[in-house]
Each structure stands twice: as structure tokens, then as C-alpha cells.
Amino acid sequence: MNVGVINESSKIENRAGLNPSGVSFLVEKGHTVYVQAGAGLKAGYSNEEYTAQGASIVFTKEEVFGRSDVVLNISPLNQEECELVKKDQILIGFHHLAVAKKGIVEELLKKNVIMIGYEIIQEEDEILPFYENLSEIAGQMCLAIAGHYLQTNQGGRGMILGGVVSVPPATVVVIGSGVLARSATRALLGAGAHTIVLGHNMERMRRIEEMTAGRVITLMGSKYNLTRLTKVADVLIGAVLRPGERAPIMITREMVKAMRPGSVIIDLAIDHGGCIETSRPTTLEHPTFVDEGIIHYCVPNITSSVSRTSTKVLSNLVVRYLHEIGDFGVDEALQRDLSLARGVYICRGCLTKKNIAERFGLEWKDQFPC
């Protein structure tokens, strides 16, 4: 099997599809890995490190697509990259079709590809392995981001998260109760912030309470509670995830208007369209904007700013699935591993997710092999 790693076209994407360790695992199994020159540089991996593990360096994106049976990507493919995709190719990476352009979806359907999305690969116990692991990173990053933008010279309220003797800590409101919310809660509570979590899943919120020994406040995410608590939030974190779907709007513009000037919003759901009405995607170069007097941090690929750690995590996870596809062929791999099958967006000319098909007015079917 030939596996290709492209040099990501997005200016704000620093992660790579594989690290040298991942290459070595594949080469040992007899597979060929083509890495576009410079693909790992932003994650701290030189071309020489890849070749030392048996990768072949190619110099154009056309070569990667032209030589590979499987192409790995991090940022969703753009129109130019879609035109390079070969007929019957396997595409594995972050695709986010719920917020993609219809033209891109139609182009890939014509090419009879099999498209597998990291974001919707799901284990039997409902764990999303790629999101779970990256969410651990993103949640921890909320601590640094919130602390930085609360500073006066950043336009924030001029506070520290943990407070000091005679001064209370900052109030952080986390919307969501999944792994992203848990990771953010753990980090912020550890820094001494007064942390409140709002969600709809009682079992997940019970898990958060147990994890924090009852030090966090949990409430149901009703409109009443959301309206009331956004008014007192110094930091508001949107951590709502619905796999393969657009994130629901949980915080309206009216709620944002009621927040205190200089407060900080971190919308971690921006990859899926955002769960806050005033959110819009930003970049690592220009990560924030101010709307209604509130600082918004809405970087879609937040873990790209710690690209080496994130690349290691992604590489460690995807190698398992590549081994299965290489050992059994893609059709049998999809039958043997239901978690991989759940990650399929497009299979040989057909959409396999009803919500995506309905969004674009296209047909769908849910059956394997395709």
C-alpha cells in the first residue's frame, strides 16, 4: 500500500499527517510512504528524519496524490486539492463535511473515493478516539489562552484566574460535558478558577463532579441557566460537540451583550461552525476579535499551536487503521472494524451520513462494503 502525506495548504495548519515514528511502523510492514517536502517542518520534523525511517520525499502535492492509494490530511481539502484526488483513492483526515462547500462534496462523489473523517471515527463505547485525545490537549490550552487574554494589555478585565488572598478567583463557565469540557475544567479548576459546567448529559456531569471531588458546580444547560450565568462569566468556554454535525448555537448574541466588557469567549466548537452566535473563525496569526465588547478566541485548529504534540497523537492513532487497511484491504477493514466504518463520510460515490446528505440535498446510503 502506498500512503501519502501532503504539505498542508492552510497557512495556519502546523500539524503533519504522520511523524517519523508513524512512517517507521508502516515501512516495517512493507508499505511505501510518500511525504511531500516540508510537510513536517512546522511540527519540528525535517525531511531527513522522514527519509531515515524509510519515507520517500516528493516535491509536489501532485506527486503525493498521483502515487498514493491513501492520502492523509489534517485541514479539510480545498478545491485545488480535490482536483488532484485520483479516482478510487482513500482519503483519511479531518474533513468536517457538515460545514464544507457543496461543490467539494460533489467533486469527491464523482471521483468514487472513500473518505474517512477522524472527527467521526467512533468506538463501541461512543468514544471518539481522535477527538478525545486532541480534546485533552485543547482543554489544557484553555488555561493559557484565558489567562493571557484576561490581562489588561490584551483588552481583558485585568484579572488572574486563581485570585489571591482577599480577592476572589475568576469565574469560568464551561458549556458542554464531554471530554473537551472535562479537560478544560480540570485545568482551570487546578489553577484556582471558580468553575461552572453546564450540560445536558447527567452521567457526564456526574463524572465531572466525581473527577473534581465536587469542587465544580454543575447545572443543566437550559436557556434560563445559560442566560443567568453568562452575565457573571469572566471566561466563557464553548465545548459542545455533535459528531459529524454542525454545532448547535447555545449562546445567543443577546447573552453575549449581557457579559461584562473585557470578558473572554473561547469557542472550541468553531471547527463545527461554533456554538456561540457571535463566533467566526480566526487564525493562529490573528486569533481574536472583539464583538459586543467581548474578546472572542475562535481558532478552528487550536491544537495546531502545539503542533509537535498534536502530530504525535494523530500519528499514533491513525497507524492502527492504516495497518488494518493494508492487511485486509479497505472493504474487509471496514467490515472488521466498526469504529473505522463509522468514520466513513463518502463511499464510492455515495454519502453515508443522512444529516450530511440532507444538508446538501443529495442521496445517501448506509451499507458496507460499498
Q: In angstroms, how far is CA 160 from the centroid of its own chain?
A: 28
Average pLDDT of 332-348?
94
Flag whether pLDDT at 352 surpasses 80. yes
Flag whether pLDDT at 63 surpasses 90. yes
Task: Provide the β-strand partners of residue 44.
Answer: none
Flag whether pLDDT at 367 surpasses 70. no
Average pLDDT of 275-283?
96
Question: Which of the pair, 119 or 369, is modelled with greater confidence?
Answer: 119
Provide the pLDDT for residue 182. Answer: 92
Domain ranges of the chain: 2-120+306-360, 131-300
Provide the pLDDT for residue 84. Answer: 96
Average pLDDT of 307-335?
96
Q: pLDDT tens across 158-210, in order?
A: 999 998 999 999 999 999 998 889 999 999 999 999 999 999 999 999 999 99
Dihedral angle sign, alpha carbons of residues 51, 54, 59, 65: negative
Average pLDDT of 319-332?
96
- To which CATH superfamily is domain 131-300 assigned? NAD(P)-binding Rossmann-like Domain (3.40.50.720)
As a whole number, the mean pLDDT across the chain is 94
Flag whether pLDDT at 244 surpasses 80. no
Provide the pLDDT for residue 133. Answer: 92
pTM of the model: 0.87
Q: Which of 168-172, 242-246, 274-278 has the lowest mean pLDDT?
A: 242-246
Q: Which residues contact 125 (CB under 8 A, 6 or more apart)?
A: none
Q: pLDDT tens across 105-118, in order?
A: 999 999 999 999 99
Q: pLDDT tens across 212-234, in order?
A: 999 999 999 999 999 999 999 99
pLDDT classification of 368: cutoffs 50, 70, 90: low
Name the one residue in this structure whose C-alpha cell is 497523537: 313
Helix (H, G, I), strand (E, B) or coil at 225: helix
Question: How far is the C-alpha of 172 from the C-alpha of 185, rounded, in Å?
Answer: 9
Length of the chain measured in residues = 370
pLDDT classification of 135: cutoffs 50, 70, 90: confident
Fold equal for 2-120+306-360 and 131-300: yes
Q: What amino acid positions are annotated as catalytic residues?
A: 96, 271
| Rounded-to-10 torsion of CA 179, 184, 189, 195 | -90
Average pLDDT of 245-268?
96
Question: How far is the C-alpha of 312 from the C-alpha of 219, rounded, in Å?
Answer: 35
Average pLDDT of 308-331?
97
Cis preceding-peptide flag for 281 (omega within 30 of 0)? no
By percentage, how much of the chain surpasses pLDDT 70?
98
By percentage, how much of the chain surpasses pLDDT 90?
84
Provide the pLDDT for residue 370. Answer: 63
- To which CATH superfamily is domain 2-120+306-360 assigned? NAD(P)-binding Rossmann-like Domain (3.40.50.720)
Provide the pLDDT for residue 132. Answer: 87
Rg of the chain, C-alpha, whole Å: 21
pLDDT classification of 23: cutoffs 50, 70, 90: very high
Flag whether pLDDT at 332 surpasses 90. yes
Task: Provide the β-strand partners of residue 236.
Answer: 173, 265
Flag whether pLDDT at 287 surpasses 80. yes
Provide the pLDDT for residue 236. Answer: 98
Question: How far is the C-alpha of 115 from the C-alpha of 109, rounded, in Å?
Answer: 10
